[in-house]
Amino acid sequence: MIIKNKLRLPREFVLNSENIKYIQSSLHKRPISSYDSFIKRCFRYFLKIFHVYELIKKPKYLILSRNIKALFVKNIEQWYALYMLLKNHTDIIKVQLKMRRGSILSGAYQCERLNEIEQIIRKFGPDSILEYGSATSSAMFAKLAGDKIYFQTTDELKWWLEKLFDSLPHSLKLKVNAILAKTKVDKVEFELVISYDTAHDRYFDFIYVDGPYNEGPKILSSERLAEVKDPSGYLPNYDTELLWENGIYPKIIVIDGRRSTVRRLILKGVKHYKIYLKSAYSRGLKNDVIYYLYHTILIRKDVII
């Protein structure tokens, strides 16, 4: 069978994950003064990408190269997340770029996670937000919180909080209530856990767990490392459990990755919460109500979804 109107991809399209890495590294190397113009060019580029994606889904292109289609399907969520940030949150992208200059962050940019954070907040509409572990997500929470939602973030590194505030636009600085707190490691039920050494006595509708830093080999002595229970070597983050011990049960608890933390919260929270694992932890099984790729969500049982 011959297709007369053969789809020709523009020469600049290389349909693999290297595109994302190229755009990210290009942004990272550019002077901050050039961000606006470069972001606009990236946005126009993404419009072309999604135009091509819509075309290849049409029946007349069904026999288009399987490799091209597979690459689109594989990377479309990355593309879409960055596209949505470029479209709606260029201010957040700038915060992320500034925070990564000369910092400890070196992995992939968190476009997908930031996109999910926006979806989750808009879905549940909390009245107050508490974040454990500050980063670009703090900027997103502050923006989504606006003037009506109280937002507080806690971190153990003074220089990191200073970098966050230096990276935030003035309008968002006023909306971030930052708490600097040391961390502590305790042994609970024969397992080492880590938490912030601060009060856990205030109610928040929404808790986001992305801290404190919990990689055992980097924060523990070799002697104590042998006491880490989780095979991954990561300590569970214990702050949520401390809230529960004080009779505080937030409506929504969201955990970014952190398998060791999720393991404990499942065991301890099943009485009060409906639990929806991130897709990698649930072996890819979709749930019709809640399904996120990067976040595990605990929803208090009296909350109507």
Asked whether residue 61 falls in the same domain as residue 150, the answer is no
pLDDT of residue 68: 47
Which of 19-28, 107-116, 145-154 shows the lowest mean pLDDT across its residues?
A: 19-28
Domain final position from 38, 56, 88: 88
Q: How high is the mean pLDDT of the chain?
A: 78
Which of 6-15, 38-47, 107-116, 261-270 shows the lowest mean pLDDT across its residues?
A: 6-15
Residue at 103 is within a domain: no
Asked whether residue 150 falls in the same domain as residue 285, the answer is yes
pLDDT of residue 95: 87
253 - beta bridge partners? 207, 298
Does 143 score more than 80 pLDDT? yes
Does 12 score more than 70 pLDDT? no
Alpha helices in the chain (DSSP H): 18-29, 35-56, 66-88, 90-100, 111-124, 136-145, 158-167, 170-173, 216-219, 222-225, 239-245, 259-269
Pick 15 or 265 by higher pLDDT. 265
Does 14 score more than 80 pLDDT? no
Domain final position from 88, 119, 150: 88
Asked whether residue 291 falls in the same domain as residue 171, the answer is yes
For the chain, the straight-line distance linking the first and the last C-alpha, in angstroms and rounded, comes to 49
Residue at 11 is within a domain: no
Distance CA 173, CA 142 (A): 8
Neighbours of 145 (CB within 10 A): 21
Asked whether residue 238 falls in the same domain as residue 188, the answer is yes
Residue at 139 is within a domain: yes
Distance CA 207, CA 184 (A): 19
Asked whether residue 275 falls in the same domain as residue 193, the answer is yes
Residues 229-288: pLDDT tens digits?
888 889 999 999 999 999 999 999 999 988 999 999 999 999 999 998 876 555 544 554
Residue at 51 is within a domain: yes
- pLDDT-derived band at 3 (thresholds 50, 70, 90) equals very low
The count of domains in the chain is: 2
What is the CATH number for 193?
Answer: 3.40.50.150
Asked whether residue 228 falls in the same domain as residue 180, the answer is yes
| pTM (predicted TM-score) | 0.78
Asked whether residue 30 falls in the same domain as residue 141, the answer is no
Q: CB–CB of 265/239 below 8 Å?
A: no
Residues 290-301: pLDDT tens digits?
567 789 999 999
Asked whether residue 46 falls in the same domain as residue 119, the answer is no
pLDDT of residue 55: 53
Asked whether residue 276 falls in the same domain as residue 130, the answer is yes
Residue at 266 is within a domain: yes
- pLDDT-derived band at 177 (thresholds 50, 70, 90) equals very high
Residues 124-142: pLDDT tens digits?
999 999 999 999 999 999 9
Could you list the residue range(s) of the whole structural domain that residue 59 is in? Answer: 18-88
Residues 52-66: pLDDT tens digits?
555 545 555 444 444
Residue at 277 is within a domain: yes
pLDDT of residue 205: 97
Asked whether residue 43 falls in the same domain as residue 131, the answer is no
Residue at 13 is within a domain: no
pLDDT of residue 91: 87
Residue at 7 is within a domain: no
Asked whether residue 242 falls in the same domain as residue 276, the answer is yes
Distance CA 43, CA 290 (A): 29
Asked whether residue 62 falls in the same domain as residue 22, the answer is yes
